[in-house]
Chains A and B, each alone.
Chain A
Amino acid sequence: MCQVDEEYSGHLERRSVPGVSKTCVKCKESTAVLIIRLGDAFCRSCFKEYFVHKFRAMLGKNRVIFPGEKVLLAVSGGPASSSMLAQVQEGLSRDAPKKLRFVPGIIYIDEGGACGQSAEEREKAVALLENILRKTGFPYYIVPLEQVFGLPDSVLESVSCSPEGSGLSYKAAVVQYIQQNEVKQRHSESAGEEAQDAMARLSVHSQYGPEHRQALERLFSSLKTLTAKEDMLQTLRQHLILHTARVSGYSKVMMGDSCTRLSIKLLSNISLGRGAALAADTGFSDPRYGDVVIVRPMRDYSSKEIAFYNRLFGVQSVFIPGLDTKVPDKASIQRLTESFIIKLQADFPSTVSTIYRTSEKLHTACPPLNSSAEPAVKCLLCLCALDTKADEASAFQAILLSERLSVGKAQSDPPSSTTAGSPGQSCCQESGCGAGGCCSTSRASADLKSLLCYSCRLTMKDMTAVDSLPQYITLEAEKRQRRAQMKQEISEFLLEDADDDQE
């Protein structure tokens, strides 16, 4: 059957043959050094102005970062987050009217333990990075991924969507800040700096024990696919950042995702079944954690712009190998999507910007503020609203049906009125379960499954030993299950009561 069922008009323009045009389109004087967007040639100084302006404009337009607010910059050492750091430094060093007015700190998550790096390699990378971080004078936190094994289960608890102080309008907050600042300046100027130094020193020495190192190794070797490993790494990293932000009083976290990176993320998340969370995953601000909001100020820059800026203006970055270093294109969904988009972009230069614009039209599902209604149930791992309460006519239900129909008839008839997808019922569908009953790992994974969104279920499906998850996750899972059980008991009790009344 011919697949062309709808009209596809020809606005997808192919790349034109490179032209050797050499004057800047902006000042029309200087020699151009790079081509950005669809063929605009910029000279060095116009490019710098354009780049610096864009950062401020992005923050100005969105107005979510309040003056005086503590903002944690998530730096990976890579070009985009290093460039973000440089832009913050640049913005803070400006004169009054154009000065950025928030209080930055930096966090780096050392993921080497999940990526098979040796202790020496990790130390070397951290030393290189620390060199860059120290020069900023901002407090910084270097957190090894192993620390997830020491996280409290409260990390995963739902926090209401409305952060304190959000009742204050942006403008009022600015005025308040300026007044406070004038007072502060009259007192002392050095006190702040001293405190910052102390904090930086405090946070440098973060350690991890050998038992945590082994636990992390076990966790990642239990994940059978690179797709699941990358997904798990992303989840754990977010939890660590969130926790650090909370304990140190940061209410915003800045991530360095570029426009190129976000369009790859958008498409790969669609492929991973994360459609419902797309707006939160790729939008400018991500309110899923409630009290700590993620913002992505680099989302207007392409990776080419960033690479050029860093090269031309000496922004240092550190290349630290990750899970996907030197792997073939088809090693994981994320990797495949990256190579697909980058190749398509080479032929159709509007690919990235078109996908990026799609992300701007998506809606962030956030529970209404101050509503008395119960907040939406959130996924245990990614903390997005659960997308598994779909109606009968859905892909999710279709898969559950396929699973039921693909195992024996005896097993496929649910005992009584258990609804599809509830824990227990799906347990025996896990392979490796004998007819005699359920093995414990299978039960644990089935129970956990009911607390996860569609996509995180896929990740867990690729995991062989569920008990290798950090304790804060399993503890919170148990807590939620107990709560659900209690709720059910109460509702059954109430139902019986109602029945009694009727009789």
Chain B
Amino acid sequence: MPVQCSSCALSRAVLKRPKTGHSLCKACFFWAFEEEVHHTVVSGRLFSRGETVGIGASGGKDSTVLAHVMKVLNERHDYGLKLLLLSVDEGITGYRDDSLETVRRNQQQYDLPLKIVSYQELYGWTMDAIVKQVGLKNNCTFCGVFRRQALDRGAVMLNVDKICTGHNADDVAETVLMNVLRGDIARLRRCTAISTASDGEGAIPRCKPLKYAYEKEIVLYAYFKKLDYFSTECIYSPNAYRGHARAFLKDLEAVRPSAIMDVIHSGENLSVKEGVKMPVQGTCTRCGYISSQALCKSCVLLEGLNRGLPKLGIGKHHRLHGKILAQQPLTQEEEKKLKAVDF
């Protein structure tokens, strides 16, 4: 016997909600999903009327659903926001070029302006070229650091007040687990925040309207709404250690579906001891971007790439930052350590 929708009790249910265990029909699911995102937006005071909001769009399921829902809610609840799509072209042949095609179609479908910034124009390097130099071991570090800054730079070009990204509940929970496994107490404390505060120059405030939306529901929402999204994995394999955390989270979800929210709840309620050292945020002396060091991660990575010393930004080499800033040559031994890359 088909299960009835627990909300309207009229139609056949199409999914069982992992968060609550309820079964909903298509129409009630759409409504609940959208109103939950609305609640996240309102209760977290994510935007103010009149703001220009850049939606980080990769063409994947999360950002496609985010763009769709943001447009729906902006109209339904009269947020008074100017929405636009912001994409980063990392320069990955066979992956990003295809997904950007999806974003271009989304631009048409949702009638939103689109801006694409590329690693090539910002840094002079494509990911393809970076992988050629550093191999497949630490490439994700480069990509992650560069993307973060690229989105900011694109936002500045367009005079955007805020950026929202498609991070979902699974992503947030995974980051909590990841930071526990890495013992990174500073990030552990920050990672459940729904938005990053605007601390003056450098960074544009970011937020995650899908923070409490399960990946499963996002996929189903996109599927039932027949949203046009791109679903291929990045061709440069993901970080192995993070993969462990993801697999663990998926197992947790299988044992107790609410576990993803439970992990986020835990993350939101951790209290960290006084006196535990927290990094102080400053700005990069080279590019002015926010950084806890004299040089931001992105500038260090770039310096490494340009000098042919890709390991410069991997691991801890803060000692060398002074030398880089002063344009001093590195010793032979230092160079040797930073050159060796195992493939």
Contact = CB atoms under 8 A, between A and B. Distances in A.
Interface of A: 1-12, 225, 227, 266-267, 269-276, 278-279, 330-333, 336-337, 340, 344, 348, 351, 354-355, 357-358, 361-363, 365, 387, 390-399, 401-403, 405-409, 431, 454-455, 458
Contacts of A403: 20, 22
A363 B45 CA distance: 28
Q: Which 8 A-B pairs have the closest CB atoms?
A: A275-B266, A273-B262, A406-B22, A276-B269, A392-B43, A398-B212, A405-B32, A4-B140
B143 A393 contact: no
Given A330-B255, A340-B248, A402-B36, A8 B241 contact: yes
Contact of A357 (B8, B36, B143, B183): B183
Contacts of B107: none
A320 B8 CA distance: 51
Contacts of B261: 273, 395, 398-399
A275 B273 contact: no
Contacts of A363: 271-274
Given A1-B58, A275-B267, A7 B144 contact: yes
Given A270-B176, A279-B271, 10 more contacts: A7-B141, A8-B144, A11-B316, A270-B177, A270-B180, A336-B251, A362-B270, A363-B273, A405-B7, A407-B22
Contacts of B174: 3
B60 A1 contact: yes
B265 interface: yes
B297 A7 contact: yes
Contacts of B61: 1
Contacts of B239: 3-4, 8
27 contacts: A1-B58, A2-B238, A5-B167, A7-B145, A8-B242, A9-B141, A225-B255, A225-B256, A267-B181, A275-B266, A275-B268, A276-B266, A276-B269, A279-B271, A336-B248, A354-B182, A355-B180, A358-B180, A363-B271, A363-B273, A387-B265, A393-B43, A395-B265, A399-B19, A406-B22, A406-B28, A455-B262
A6 B185 CA distance: 14
B8 to A, nearest CB: 7
A4 B39 contact: no
A398 B24 contact: no
A7 B296 CA distance: 12
Contacts, number: 218
A6 B187 contact: yes
Contact of A406 (B7, B177, B255, B259): B7
Contact of B17 (A12, A392, A396, A406): A406
A331 B254 CA distance: 10
A396 B39 CA distance: 13
A463 to B, nearest CB: 14
B329 interface: no
B181 A354 contact: yes
A396 B265 contact: yes
Majority SS at the chain B contact face: helix
Interface in B219-278: 234, 238-239, 241-242, 244, 246, 248, 251-252, 254-256, 258-259, 261-274, 276
Contact of A333 (B145, B259, B265): B259
B23 to A, nearest CB: 8
Nearest to A435: B9
Nearest to B174: A3
Given A363-B273, A394-B268, A405 B31 contact: yes
Nearest to B298: A7
Contact of B144 (A4, A331, A392): A4
B124 interface: no
Interface centre among B7, B181, B267, B274 (most CB of A within 10 A): B181
A343 to B, nearest CB: 9
A2 B143 CA distance: 9
B6 interface: yes
B171 interface: yes
Contact of A267 (B45, B177, B241, B267): B177
Contacts of B194: 393
A278 B266 contact: yes
Contacts of B113: none
Given A271-B259, A344-B244, A458-B258, A402 B268 contact: no
B266 A408 contact: no
B170 to A, nearest CB: 9
A394 to B, nearest CB: 6
Most buried by B among A7, A266, A431: A7
Contact of B234 (A2, A12, A272): A2
Nearest to A228: B256
Nearest to A269: B266
Contact of B63 (A1, A354, A392, A406): A1
A337 B182 CA distance: 16
Contacts of A8: 140-141, 144, 178, 182, 239, 241-242
B188 interface: yes
